[in-house]
Amino acid sequence: MAFFTRYFKKTSLFLCLACVLSFAFAAESSIQIKHAELQPQDDYYSLNADVDINFNDALEEAVNKGVPLNFLIEFQIVSPRKYWFDDEIVTISHSVALSYHALSRQYLVNRGAHQKSFESLSEARQELAQIKDWRVLDKSLLEKGGNYKAALLFRLDQSKLPKAIQVDTISSEMWNLSSEKFEWSLKELNSKEPSSKELSGKELKQ
């Protein structure tokens, strides 16, 4: 009976929170990828990116009420084909999670087995946005002199939200938090030591 009562209270809290937050659109949350580049290493390329993440008041309240936010960072390289589907070279993703620990009053950012804690949500959000030295591509996968296109996406993983809030995502845009797909061309990536211009993208291309 005690377990049922605790479960009911927790579920009711998320339901009430979902209802309240669904009407809070004073300011929109956003994710924007401003810049991305590949860095050549010994036998692979690593990815660095400059990302801005902003939460509106409602989403900040959700985090502070104990709603964990899980994000997916997705990267892909394809070789464009003129008369057929693009040839997929690599598709890779990893997750990063943001949560609030009420007892310690700390914000936690988890990347797999690595966890960092912060005293403020602003600091935690900055860490959440970090994409640095992510190994994304072995050089052996590229043909010498080939032309390639890279794409990067950063989004909230709605499937990891509490069940009560997942129901709300059907009718509310609040939880549809995603960057636009950031794309750039990589010319002759493996034919020589590439320049920074060939490895990086600065403008969002729809």
Task: Give the pLDDT means over successive 10-residue stretches in the chain (206 positions).
Answer: 46 48 58 95 95 93 94 96 88 97 96 94 96 95 89 95 72 82 80 55 49
Backbone angles phi, psi at 63, to 5 degrees: -60, -45
Task: Provide the pLDDT for residue 102.
Answer: 94
Spatial CB neighbours of 3, under 8 Å, sequence gap ≥ 6: none
> Which residue in the block uniquely carries the two structure tokens 């509310």?
172
The answer to whether residue 178 is domain-embedded is yes
**Residue numbers of the domain that contains 156:** 2-201
The answer to whether residue 70 is domain-embedded is yes
The answer to whether residue 206 is domain-embedded is no
Nearest to 71 by CA among 90, 53, 57: 53
The answer to whether residue 18 is domain-embedded is yes
Task: Provide the pLDDT for residue 169.
Answer: 60
Distances (CA, A) of 86 to 52, 82, 90, 98, 158: 29, 8, 12, 34, 28
The answer to whether residue 88 is domain-embedded is yes
Return d(Cα 135, Cα 44) in angstroms, integer. Answer: 7
Task: Provide the pLDDT for residue 43.
Answer: 93
Return d(Cα 179, Cα 52) in angstroms, integer. Answer: 9
The answer to whether residue 20 is domain-embedded is yes
Task: Provide the pLDDT for residue 28.
Answer: 81
**How many domains, in total, are found in the chain?**
1
Return d(Cα 46, Cα 64) in angstroms, integer. Answer: 34
